[in-house]
A = this chain, B = another copy of it.
Amino acid sequence: MDKIRIGIVGYGNLGRGVQYAVSQNEDMEVVAVFTRRDPADVATVLPVRVERYEALKEYVGKIDVMILCGGSATDLPMQSSEVVRLFNTVDSFDTHARIPDYFDRLDAAAKETSHLGAMSIGWDPGLFSLARIYFGSALAEGSTYTFWGRGVSQGHSDAIRRVRGVLDARQYTVPVESALERVRNGENPDLTTREKHTRECYVVAEEGADLARIEREIKEMPNYFSDYDTTVHFISQEELEEKHSGIPHGGFVLRSGKSATDKRFLLEFSLKLDSNPEFTSSVLTAYARAVYRLHREGKIGAVTVFDIAPKYLSPLTEAQQRKELL
């Protein structure tokens, strides 16, 4: 069997994760990694050719799907439309508010050269979005809830690091167990931001820093912390590295609703992930298979998880899927 030829654009946590995930799928191989850094400075976790970002166009015809592993803030909005003119793409764009605009631009760019670009792939957006659409469709009358955590929020950890006197920090988003239980009990509660999640901060401060001020500045930080019950723990750099070096995450999507005769139903999907980026990478890789197959069927433009039938994701043949998984 010819393997699906994958390219990786960007080589941080996500790019490394994709390289690992492809190694777990026999029907794929990574042809090259593309970076904006000097390729000589990039040590890959498994052997693979490393190229400059500018060399992308030399790989036209040699790579079936490019997996874009840059960030949503600046990398993906710039790169995705550029790369999709040359290759089919998969990306993990996750800035919810900008999704409609991003979709339109990716769709237009992809159609210029008859490519296919799958966007916002991962677990949220991604598998959690799937849970929301399937649950909402299967149960017309009800309420859907999404909880995140317990897991590390990179954005919130970064925000703490910008506070004066802070050397390092790790922030955990934690779902409120009692709120989860109310949903599971079928109470259909209206939950405020504060009632759904708490924020736990582990902070390494400079020697002699005013800890009370740091704690206050964190807790009062608008958007990031002021709407939440936040706890701040000052710890040593050693303890941070020993106990908080992982990037775990997870969460829950629940839908609670009822039939026209008031029978109650609860649908719940949950994830518990030792490594957020490695799981996102694993999902990106499965969708690269789908993009490859759909493009061969003539599908072009931008797509999301909503547009892709599950059969395209599985390495099994359709007959095997029906026999073994249905």
Give chain A's interface residues, CB within 8 Å of chain B. 17, 20-21, 23-25, 96, 99-100, 103, 120, 125, 127, 129-134, 136-141, 259-261, 263-275, 278-279, 281-283, 285-286, 289, 304-311, 313-315, 318-319, 321-323, 325-326
Q: What CA separation (Å) do A96 and B324 show in the bound complex?
A: 9
The answer to whether A319 touches B265, judged by C-beta atoms less than 8 angstroms apart, is no
Can you name the residue of chain B whose Cβ is closest to the Cβ of A283? Answer: B138
Q: What CA separation (Å) do A313 and B305 show in the bound complex?
A: 13
Can you name the residue of chain B whose Cβ is closest to the Cβ of A246? Answer: B263
Across the A-B interface, give the 7 residue pairs with the lowest CB-CB distance, nearest first: A137-B313, A20-B260, A263-B274, A263-B275, A306-B311, A266-B272, A24-B140
The number of times this chain is found in the oligomer is: 2
The answer to whether B274 touches A313, judged by C-beta atoms less than 8 angstroms apart, is no
Inter-chain contacts of A282 with B (CB < 8 A): 138-140, 259, 265
Contact of A96 among B265, B270, B315, B326 (CB under 8 A): B326
Inter-chain contacts of A23 with B (CB < 8 A): 260
Can you name the residue of chain B whose Cβ is closest to the Cβ of A247? Answer: B263
Inter-chain contacts of A265 with B (CB < 8 A): 271-274, 279, 282
User: Could you write out 24 A-B pairs with CB less than 8 Å apart?
Assistant: A20-B259, A21-B140, A21-B259, A99-B323, A99-B326, A100-B322, A131-B269, A133-B314, A134-B313, A137-B286, A137-B289, A137-B313, A138-B283, A139-B279, A263-B279, A265-B272, A266-B270, A266-B272, A268-B270, A268-B272, A269-B269, A304-B322, A305-B310, A306-B311
Least Cβ distance of A122 to chain B in Å?
10
Inter-chain contacts of A266 with B (CB < 8 A): 270-273
The answer to whether A325 touches B306, judged by C-beta atoms less than 8 angstroms apart, is yes
Inter-chain contacts of A281 with B (CB < 8 A): 259
The answer to whether B278 touches A263, judged by C-beta atoms less than 8 angstroms apart, is yes
Least Cβ distance of A91 to chain B in Å?
13
Known: A259-B275, A274-B264. A321 touches B309 (CB 8 A): no
Inter-chain contacts of A308 with B (CB < 8 A): 309
Least Cβ distance of A36 to chain B in Å?
25
The answer to whether A138 touches B286, judged by C-beta atoms less than 8 angstroms apart, is yes
Inter-chain contacts of A131 with B (CB < 8 A): 269
The answer to whether A325 touches B133, judged by C-beta atoms less than 8 angstroms apart, is yes
Known: A271-B267, A304-B322. A24 touches B314 (CB 8 A): no
Q: What CA separation (Å) do A279 and B319 show in the bound complex?
A: 27
Can you name the residue of chain B whose Cβ is closest to the Cβ of A139? Answer: B282
The answer to whether B322 touches A306, judged by C-beta atoms less than 8 angstroms apart, is yes
Inter-chain contacts of A269 with B (CB < 8 A): 131, 267-269
- With a 10 A CB-CB cut-off, give which of A141, A279, A305, A325 has the most chain B CB atoms: A325
- With a 10 A CB-CB cut-off, give which of A127, A279, A319 has the most chain B CB atoms: A279
Q: What CA separation (Å) do A260 and B281 show in the bound complex?
A: 11
Q: What CA separation (Å) do A250 and B191 show in the bound complex?
A: 26
The answer to whether B141 touches A24, judged by C-beta atoms less than 8 angstroms apart, is yes
Q: What CA separation (Å) do A307 and B130 show in the bound complex?
A: 15
Can you name the residue of chain B whose Cβ is closest to the Cβ of A136? Answer: B314
Can you name the residue of chain B whose Cβ is closest to the Cβ of A294? Answer: B309
